[in-house]
């Protein structure tokens, strides 16, 4: 078990010899040797005898051989801090139960019987087994030792709490794993023998995925394979591990369309119990369900070794807001557009009919996305796009490239266009405030003279008043006209990268919960899927440009001088930090450790990662006051910083614990 809360789980399906427990124990031990680094290794239902032994389950010889095979595995596990779970029939008094045995370091921890027996179509379990209902003995004697027995057993090692159910238990309306999760289990195991029929694998996968999400847990599933008897059915050897609604790893299976195989299948992955704990703490209804527990659960302790140096066996997405799979990304982008458009349309319906919508169009990513969303909304609801009034407001930092992109895009989308040069108003503000922009005396100077002098200032010159005046004048001009559509994105809110009561403010902000890394993909997606070639070219050009507020003057060659990412760090890092800080509640040291595992668009050394994280937390805490008063806007993903919804934080909170 890794100190950052990662537990490695293997769900494995070995070759089975029906009716030969000793041979099956050997097959299981072979797989255990292959997965010595796994914290938990799960095997299928009745894996010591074979699920298809049928009336042989009535033979004492098979039951005794299965118990001997179990002791063989218990003995072999000595010296290994690893939870091993195997399936076997267990005779208790005059009843026979389909059971899961939990083993750790030479010790049989406990035995969990199956609660729901399938007895329909190809299944006849009730012919041989009794369904457990909680009335069974609390312990049974094995090798002269009392062993905990029952449906009320959970197995605990530190923060990892394991619950076990068997096959059909999952397919019922109220799976036992739901109660186990509410009782504290964050890792759920299922020993299964599910037959492989057309379409069943998809259904099975959905069950595992949805149960892991419903229980806010990791869920491992190990299915019997094709070496079971094929007299009437075939078993697929389907193994998988899910975590909170997502399949993290899955094995080969019969019917997957790939070449046939011989031997075992397995799925191994590191599950994150710290993340599960955060989600359970923040979702209050999960705790509320504890009142429904019909019984108290016994927790049996076992040991997992601490493995701080073990390499992580899990994909760490470098852009967690942006799916890596192209089809998933396309679906995500399409859905976000729908949410943004629907939210904006509802707000527009409350306005006087045909009231124009004003948007400042800079030629940058954020205003482009907001403009595209507004245009798609008008098309969807049969409103003329001319109702959108796009205003370009060139200032002292505007370059020809972004202005031309803005003008061309507005023309292509058919919106009403207007240009207002904000420099004269800015100059008047400098003079009224007796401010010297970038150290230049603004008195008795005209706009063009001041522009020439500003361009000649050093590239590293700084002047926050100079920047804020431009941002606030743009907002003043927009809001003096009518209903203003905001453009600022989630990443800018997190970092406070906006001018208070400047570009920070609007009447409705469709981008409010879209992070910068996703904005870029949305702009490209819009070009690829919603518009013709001319618009596509413009949108891709905007998506590929340097991210800049263009408030500082350009270089003498007319290029963008002010790069946002050169100033505060790469947005892909800030979005990575933001996601894991807000969505998962991770500590800074865990986030930094994960960042070192992720494959970003370029390699970042340890100093860059640490410095950028310092910037993130410093700015995040310092700029809560801006987030406390932001305009309405739709939540589109799992992370939002709305003070009315997801994120409520004091503006004067001390970041010391995080920055240290």
Specify whether the CB–CB gap between 440 and 457 falls below 8 A.
yes
Specify whether the CB–CB gap between 337 and 522 falls below 8 A.
yes
Joined together, the tokens standing for residue 162 give 């394991």
The Cα–Cα gap between 70 and 77 comes to: 11
Specify whether the CB–CB gap between 572 and 319 falls below 8 A.
yes
Residue 637 in marked binding region: no
Specify whether the CB–CB gap between 175 and 168 falls below 8 A.
no
Residues 6+ apart with CB under 8 A from 208: 170, 190, 219, 221, 240, 242, 247
Residues 6+ apart with CB under 8 A from 139: 146, 147, 148, 149
Residue 178 in marked binding region: no
Q: Are strands 139-142 and 145-148 parallel, antiparallel or unpaired?
A: antiparallel
Of 200, 186, 184, 189, residue with least CA distance to 166: 189
First to last CA, the chain: 26
Instruction: Please name the residue that has the structure tokens 């927009």.
Output: 478
Q: Is 516 a catalytic residue?
A: no
Residue 432 in marked binding region: no
Q: Is 426 a catalytic residue?
A: no
Q: What is the DSSP letter of 553?
A: P
Annotated catalytic residue within 114, 275, 376, 590: 114
The Cα–Cα gap between 459 and 439 comes to: 13
DSSP string, 251-311: ---TTSSSPP--S-EEEEEEEEHHHHHHHHHH-HHHHHGGGG--SPPEEEE------TTSP
Residue 112 in marked binding region: no
Q: Is 21 left (phi over 0), alpha (psi -120 to 50) or beta?
A: alpha
Residue 457 in marked binding region: no
Residue 213 in marked binding region: no
Buried residues in 325-334 as b, exposed as e (16+ CB within 10 A): eeeebeebbe
Residues 6+ apart with CB under 8 A from 544: none
Of 295, 228, 282, residue with least CA distance to 53: 228
Residues 6+ apart with CB under 8 A from 528: 536
Residues 6+ apart with CB under 8 A from 264: 12, 13, 14, 15, 27, 30, 31, 225, 237
Residue 455 in marked binding region: no
The Cα–Cα gap between 326 and 450 comes to: 48
Residue 361 in marked binding region: yes
Annotated catalytic residue within 27, 136, 167, 572: 167
Residue 514 in marked binding region: no
Q: Are strands 153-157 and 298-301 parallel, antiparallel or unpaired?
A: parallel
10 Å CB burial of residue 54 (0-12, 13-18, 19+) is middle
Residue 212 in marked binding region: no
The Cα–Cα gap between 56 and 41 comes to: 27
10 Å CB burial of residue 418 (0-12, 13-18, 19+) is middle
Residue 208 in marked binding region: no
Question: Using CA of residue 569, residue 575, residue 576, residue 577, what is the dihedral sign?
Answer: positive
Specify whether the CB–CB gap between 57 and 49 falls below 8 A.
yes
Q: Is 167 a catalytic residue?
A: yes
Residue 363 in marked binding region: yes
Annotated catalytic residue within 27, 45, 125, 243: 45
Residue 385 in marked binding region: no
Joined together, the tokens standing for residue 495 give 């970092």
Residue 626 in marked binding region: yes
- Which residues are part of a known binding site for ATP? 360-367, 487
Q: Annotated binding site for L-glutamine, which residues?
A: 120, 194, 200
Known binding residues are: 120, 194, 200, 360-367, 468, 487, 492, 497-500, 626
- Binding-site positions for deamido-NAD(+) read 468, 492, 497-500, 626
Enzyme catalytic residues: 45, 114, 167
């Amino acid at each position: 078990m890794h100190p950052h809360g990662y537990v490695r789980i293997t769900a494995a399906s070995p070759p089975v010899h029906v009716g030969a427990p000793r041979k099956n124990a050997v097959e299981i031990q072979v797989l255990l040797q292959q997965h010595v680094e796994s914290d938990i290794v799960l095997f299928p239902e009745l894996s010591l005898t074979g699920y298809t032994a049928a009336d042989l389950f009535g033979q004492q010889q098979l039951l005794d051989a299965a118990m001997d095979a179990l002791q063989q595995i218990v003995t072999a596990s000595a010296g290994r801090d690893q939870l091993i779970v195997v399936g076997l029939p267990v005779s208790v008094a005059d009843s026979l139960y389909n059971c899961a045995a939990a083993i750790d370091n030479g010790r049989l921890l406990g035995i969990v019987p199956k609660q729901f027996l399938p007895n329909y179509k190809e299944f006849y379990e009730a012919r041989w087994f009794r369904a457990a209902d909680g009335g069974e003995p609390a312990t049974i004697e094995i090798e002269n030792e009392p062993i905990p027995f029952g449906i009320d057993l959970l197995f605990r090692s530190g923060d990892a709490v394991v619950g076990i159910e068997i096959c059909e238990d999952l397919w019922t309306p109220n799976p036992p794993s739901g109660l186990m999760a509410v009782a504290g289990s964050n890792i759920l195991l299922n020993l299964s023998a599910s037959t492989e029929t057309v379409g069943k694998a998809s259904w099975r996968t959905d069950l595992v995925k949805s149960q892991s999400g419903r229980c806010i847990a990791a869920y491992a599933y190990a299915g019997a394979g094709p070496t079971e008897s094929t007299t009437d059915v075939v078993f697929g050897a389907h193994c998988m591990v899910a975590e909170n609604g997502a399949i993290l790893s899955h094995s080969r299976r019969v019917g997957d369309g790939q070449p046939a195989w011989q031997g075992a299948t397995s799925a191994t992955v590191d599950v994150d119990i710290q993340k599960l704990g955060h989600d359970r703490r923040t979702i209050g209804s999960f705790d509320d369900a504890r009142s429904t527990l019909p019984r108290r659960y016994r927790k049996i302790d076992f040991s997992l070794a601490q493995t701080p140096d073990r390499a992580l066996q899990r994909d760490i997405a470098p852009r967690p807001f942006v799916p890596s799979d192209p089809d998933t990304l396309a679906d995500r982008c399409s859905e976000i557009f729908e949410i943004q458009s629907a939210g904006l349309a509802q707000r527009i319906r409350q306005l006087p009919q045909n009231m124009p919508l004003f948007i400042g169009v800079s030629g940058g990513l954020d205003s482009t996305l907001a403009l595209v969303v507004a245009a798609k909304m008008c098309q969807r609801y049969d409103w003329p796009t001319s109702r959108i009034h796009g205003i370009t407001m060139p200032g002292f930092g505007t370059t020809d490239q972004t202005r031309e992109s803005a003008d061309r895009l507005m023309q292509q989308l058919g919106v009403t266009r207007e240009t207002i040069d904000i420099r004269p108003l800015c100059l008047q503000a400098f003079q009224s405030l007796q401010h010297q922009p970038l150290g230049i005396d603004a008195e008795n100077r005209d706009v063009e003279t001041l522009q020439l002098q500003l361009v000649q200032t050093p590239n590293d010159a700084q002047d926050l008043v100079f920047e804020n005046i431009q941002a606030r004048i743009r907002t003043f001009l927009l809001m003096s006209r009518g209903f203003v559509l905001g453009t600022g994105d989630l990443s800018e809110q997190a970092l406070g990268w906006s001018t208070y009561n400047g570009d920070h403010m609007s009447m409705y902000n469709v981008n409010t919960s879209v992070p910068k890394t996703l904005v870029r993909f949305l702009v490209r997606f819009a070009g690829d899927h919603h518009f013709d070639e001319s618009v596509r070219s413009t949108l891709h050009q905007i998506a590929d440009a340097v991210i800049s507020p263009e408030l500082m003057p350009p270089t003498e060659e007319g290029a963008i001088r002010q790069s946002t990412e050169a100033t505060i760090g790469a947005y892909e890092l800030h979005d990575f930090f933001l996601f894991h800080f807000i969505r998962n509640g991770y500590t800074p040291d865990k986030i930094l450790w994960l960042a070192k595992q992720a494959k970003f668009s370029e390699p970042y050394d340890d100093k860059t990662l640490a410095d950028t994280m310092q910037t993130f937390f410093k700015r995040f805490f310092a700029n809560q006051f801006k987030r406390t008063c932001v305009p309405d806007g739709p939540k589109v993903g799992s992370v939002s910083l709305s003070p009315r919804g997801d994120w409520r934080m004091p503006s004067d909170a001390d970041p010391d614990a995080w920055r240290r």
